[in-house]
């Protein structure tokens, strides 16, 4: 069963409730990166063109742990959208505020934004009663928040089941995510090369297992590399490397019969992130030093795999890229991927921000908005909140 698309549906005079992902970095009420909101603007415009009677927008912002944190208010997002579209956006006091029903009955009001869903502990608990309150705000439910589709949260998992299938839609961003990620895992053109970096081996183990089957080469970088090197008996000095990650890496290496996993041959090392960096021209890292980036030999080695690839997936930076001295490996990989003609998908907040900063994002086939969600989709072939959209009654 397919997902229903809003583009070819009549939504005239309907009250439309949309779950967006407006989880953007905000400091002192200033939005630091508006990409996620900008991606949603065409959908908002489309709904207004379709003459919906009310557009009720919902999102989470940050991790307020079920408490009302004023610095995590969606107010700056509501202002930003109002400014961009030249239309008033009414922000409710809370997602369950009784005033929302009054606003819904006022003819001149078009767009209502519910305050941060995660100010309510019920949202992340997947509470059904909370979903029932939200369901009263719309005739139509649309989910376009791919980044949370791997979570069984109330607004994406409980809420759609309170609408009929006829009135339940997957938004354009989700549709695009699914078609790109499906292409990646169903019949990837070969060679299929994956670049996996970042720091959390544990979070990526299941995806790596799946990629061991699907991909031709897996290029490991970032802090991910050290548990693998240590598991092979190579010294990693003071680099980030937990015993648990070493045993996970060992089990993956044992299973890697086709020798698909490739590890850095050199590193950029330092005593700490604030010390002067130095190239370590070997796989091993001295006792008193840490690895903070891949070295030039590794860059060239990985580039050779990438330039030959027909399909590429990248998740996770190649080093401590937030620090200039250790950002070169990550930007090198961003540029190398953008220069290929391969079908390329980049997922994960840090890799996406590196791609955006590098200025090469236009050459990437698909920049995924959800890091964890894209990894879980690759692992399992679907996500809980997507299944609900498909199989609601």
Catalytic residue set: 36, 200, 349, 372
- What's the rounded Cα separation, in Å, for the pair 73 and 37? 15
For ligand AMP, the closer CB: 315 or 392: 315
- State the Cα angle at 381 between 367 and 207, rounded to 5°: 70
Using DSSP's 3-state secondary structure scheme, residue 2 falls into: coil
- What's the rounded Cα separation, in Å, for the pair 361 and 337? 10
- What's the rounded Cα separation, in Å, for the pair 183 and 145? 20
For ligand AMP, the closer CB: 147 or 348: 348
- What's the rounded Cα separation, in Å, for the pair 20 and 17? 10
For ligand AMP, the closer CB: 277 or 291: 291
For ligand AMP, the closer CB: 138 or 291: 291
For ligand AMP, the closer CB: 200 or 339: 200
Instruction: Tell me how far, at minimum, the Cβ of 321 lies from ligand AMP, in Å.
Output: 6
Instruction: Tell me how far, at minimum, the Cβ of 48 lies from ligand AMP, in Å.
Output: 36
Strand partners, 15: 54
For ligand AMP, the closer CB: 155 or 330: 330
Given a contact cutoff of 8 angstroms between Cβ atoms, the answer to whether 286 and 237 are in contact is yes
Instruction: Tell me how far, at minimum, the Cβ of 290 lies from ligand AMP, in Å.
Output: 7
For ligand AMP, the closer CB: 76 or 319: 319
Distances (CA, A) of 217 to 194, 195, 211, 263, 357: 6, 8, 9, 11, 26
Instruction: Tell me how far, at minimum, the Cβ of 286 lies from ligand AMP, in Å.
Output: 15
Instruction: Tell me how far, at minimum, the Cβ of 78 lies from ligand AMP, in Å.
Output: 29
DSSP state of 265: S
Please state the φ and ψ torsions of residue 312, each to the nearest 5 degrees.
Answer: -135, 135
Instruction: Tell me how far, at minimum, the Cβ of 351 lies from ligand AMP, in Å.
Output: 7
For ligand AMP, the closer CB: 53 or 353: 353
Using DSSP's 3-state secondary structure scheme, residue 335 falls into: helix
Given a contact cutoff of 8 angstroms between Cβ atoms, the answer to whether 194 and 219 are in contact is yes
Q: How far is CA 176 from the centre of its chain?
A: 13
By beta carbon distance, the residue nearest ligand AMP is: 198
Instruction: Tell me how far, at minimum, the Cβ of 103 lies from ligand AMP, in Å.
Output: 39
Interface positions with ligand AMP (CB under 6 A): 198-200, 222-223, 240, 291-292, 316-317, 319-322, 348, 350
- What's the rounded Cα separation, in Å, for the pair 304 and 169? 42
Provide the edge-to-edge strand list for the sheet that holds 111-113.
89-91, 111-113, 54-58, 15-19, 140-143, 168-170
Instruction: Tell me how far, at minimum, the Cβ of 329 lies from ligand AMP, in Å.
Output: 9
Using DSSP's 3-state secondary structure scheme, residue 372 falls into: helix
Nearest of 70, 152, 145, 56 to residue 105 by alpha carbon: 56
The token pair that represents 179 in the structure block? 């078609």
Residue 191, preceding peptide bond in cis (omega within 30° of 0): yes
CA atoms lying within 13 Å on the CB side of residue 148: 25
């Amino acid at each position: 069963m397919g997902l229903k698309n809003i583009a070819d549906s009549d939504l005239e005079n309907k009250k439309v409730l949309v779950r967006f992902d407006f989880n953007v970095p905000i400091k002192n009420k200033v939005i630091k990166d508006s990409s996620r909101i900008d991606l949603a603007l065409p959908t908002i415009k489309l709904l207004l063109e379709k003459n919906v009677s009310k557009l009720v927008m919902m999102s989470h912002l940050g991790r307020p742990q079920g408490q009302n944190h004023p610095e995590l208010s969606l107010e700056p997002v509501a202002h930003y959208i109002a400014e961009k579209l030249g239309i008033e956006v009414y922000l409710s006091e809370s997602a369950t505020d009784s005033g929302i029903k009054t606003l819904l009955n006022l003819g001149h009001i078009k767009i209502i934004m519910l305050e941060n869903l995660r100010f309510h502990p019920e949202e992340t608990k997947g509470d059904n009663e909370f979903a029932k309150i939200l369901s009263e705000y719309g005739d139509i439910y649309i989910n376009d928040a791919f980044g949370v589709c791997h979570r069984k949260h109330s607004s994406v998992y409980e809420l759609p089941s309170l609408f009929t299938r006829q009135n339940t839609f997957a938004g354009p961003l989700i549709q695009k995510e699914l078609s790109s990620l499906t292409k990646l895992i169903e019949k990837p053109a070969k060679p299929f090369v994956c670049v996996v970096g970042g720091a959390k081996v544990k979070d990526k183990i299941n995806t790596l297992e799946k990629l061991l089957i699907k991909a031709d080469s897996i290029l490991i970088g970032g802090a991910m590399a050290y548990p693998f090197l240590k598991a092979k008996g190579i010294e990693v000095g003071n680099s980030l490397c937990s015993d648990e990650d070493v045993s996970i890496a060992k089990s993956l290496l044992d299973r890697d019969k086709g020798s698909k996993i490739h590890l850095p041959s050199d590193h950029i090392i330092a005593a700490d992130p604030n010390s002067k960096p130095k190239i370590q021209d070997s796989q091993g890292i001295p006792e008193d030093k840490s690895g903070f980036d891949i070295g030039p030999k590794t860059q060239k080695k990985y580039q050779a795999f990438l330039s030959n690839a027909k399909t590429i997936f990248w998740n996770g930076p190649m080093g401590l890229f937030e620090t200039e001295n250790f950002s070169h490996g990550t930007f090198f990989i961003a540029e190398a991927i953008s220069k290929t003609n391969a079908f390329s998908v980049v997922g994960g907040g840090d890799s996406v921000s590196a791609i955006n900063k590098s200025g090469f994002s236009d050459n990437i086939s698909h920049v995924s908005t959800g890091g964890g969600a894209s990894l879980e989709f690759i692992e399992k072939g679907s996500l809980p909140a997507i299944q609900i959209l498909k199989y609601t009654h």
